[in-house]
Amino acid sequence: MKIRVEDYCVEEGTKVRLDKRPTEVKKYYKSKTHYETLLAGHVDALRKLQPVLYADARHALLVIFQAMDAAGKDGAIKHVMSGVNPQGCIVYSFRQPGPDALQHDFLWKAARLLPERGHIGIFNRSYYEDVLVVRVHPELLKAEHLSDDALDHGRVWEKRYRSIRDFERHLQANGTRIVKFFLHLSKEEQRRRLLSRLEEPEKNWKFSEGDLQERDRWDDYMKAYETCLSETSCARAPWYVVPADDKKNARLIISKVLIDTLESIPMSYPKVDPERREALEKYRAMLEPEK
């Protein structure tokens, strides 16, 4: 069955209702072996596209992952990007901001970590935390040293959405393509995965009491995500709501979106002009006698 990535894309201007979007869809694979074959094909396609991006050196790709705990972000990054050359791909995990970040605007850290042209940058969580976690826990705003003008009688979220849209518009205008994934996990599947972290010794380290505290705010998070996706998805930086109850299916969808995104970038290996070609032939003539 062909993966139609447009089925998961949030079109600009769409009012997102997550309860109307599935957390699981019909499998794109027939068996574990079939899944492994399909994913290997996607991974190989990404492996071939990355060096073209690198050699062309006129564009960058920024990939953003957002989700509730245990949705499979780490696994998706690990499996989907397994064939990519580490020299041209860097992954950053956004955790609770430290003192330095809190003394700057909420986009400051992301701006410092953007991929350079020719590279792929992956944000495991991102600046979107400041309209998700902080919106669910507005008391965190107190630590950000914001002025009364910045808070502006509760319009802080509206301003942040606008800042994000402007930021991403600026990146796009300067050669950075952006693709954003929300891994849409059901509350019941999250419960099962959190239990597995408690029951399987090798997964104990993944469990945090904070996971349960955030789980208690599930409905608040869903509302925050709905607004965020609605306000910040556009053609130049689309959101994809990926059904995440089936990790294998999610990885196939994500990898297909990345393939399509890279293929849509006007890139190619640099062409060799006649003068350069003449020089290369000269170097060949110098090296061949050494055989």
Other beta carbons within 10 angstroms of residue 62's beta carbon come to: 23
Our CA dihedral for 28, 235, 45, 41, rounded to 10 degrees, sits at: 0
pLDDT digits (tens, 9 = 90+) for 115-158: 999 999 999 999 999 999 999 999 999 898 888 777 776 689 99
pLDDT at 267 over 90: yes
* Range from 42-56, 151-165, 189-203, 267-281 that averages highest in pLDDT: 42-56
What mean pLDDT comes out for the span 35-59?
A: 98
Mean pLDDT score across all residues of the chain: 94
Are 197 and 70 in contact, with CB atoms under 8 Å apart? yes
Q: Give the Å distances, CA to CA, from 133 to 109, 143, 190, 222, 251.
A: 16, 14, 18, 11, 25
What is the residue extent of each domain of the chain?
5-290
pLDDT digits (tens, 9 = 90+) for 16-29: 999 999 999 999 99
pLDDT at 55: 97
pLDDT digits (tens, 9 = 90+) for 63-102: 999 999 999 999 999 999 999 999 999 999 998 888 888 9
Q: How confident is the model at residue 273 (pLDDT cuts 50, 70, 90)?
A: confident
Among the residue ranges 35-39, 81-85, 138-142, 202-206, the one predicted with the least confidence is 202-206
How far apart, in whole angstroms, are the C-alpha atoms of residue 140 and residue 229? Answer: 21
- pTM of this structure: 0.93
pLDDT digits (tens, 9 = 90+) for 221-263: 999 999 999 999 999 999 999 999 999 999 999 999 999 999 9
CATH code at 5-290: 3.40.50.300
What mean pLDDT comes out for the span 172-192?
A: 97
